[in-house]
Amino acid sequence: MIDGDGEDHCPDHQRSYAYTRSLNETTLLLVLNWAAEPSIFDPDTEIKIPKTVRYSNYEKSPGAAIGAQFRPYEADVYRR
C-alpha cells in the first residue's frame, strides 16, 4: 500500500522499527528487528495490532507482535 496515512511507532528505538499505513478500512503494520540479535518488540506508542500476519521473512512468525521476541532481521507485516 503506497497511499494512506502513515505513522512511525518506534522513532527512537535502536533495534525495532514499527510503522502503520492506513487507507479506508485497511491498516497494515510493519514490524522489523534491525539487529543481528533477537529483540523484544516494545513500541513507544500504543498500537492497535492487527491479528493476521500477512507476510514474514521467517517460516513461522511470533504471531502477536507486542512483547514478542523477533529474531535477527525478522520482518512481519500484519493486516487489519
- DSSP states of 19-73 as a string? EEEEETTEEEEEEEE-SSS-EE---SS-----SEEEEESSSS--SS-TTPEEPTT
As a whole number of angstroms, the distance between CA 64 and CA 68 comes to: 7
Q: Extract the C-alpha cell encoding 20.
A: 502503520
In the chain, where the domains are located = 5-79
Decide: residue 48, CB within 10 A, 0-12 exposed, 13-18 middle, 19+ buried: exposed
Task: Give residue 3's pLDDT.
Answer: 80
Statement: 5-79 belongs to CATH 2.60.40.1180: yes
Task: Give residue 12's pLDDT.
Answer: 80
Q: Extract the C-alpha cell encoding 14.
A: 535502536
pLDDT in tens, the chain (80 residues): 668 888 887 788 888 888 888 889 888 888 999 999 998 887 766 777 666 788 889 888 777 777 788 999 999 998 87
Task: Give residue 79's pLDDT.
Answer: 84
Task: Give residue 35's pLDDT.
Answer: 93
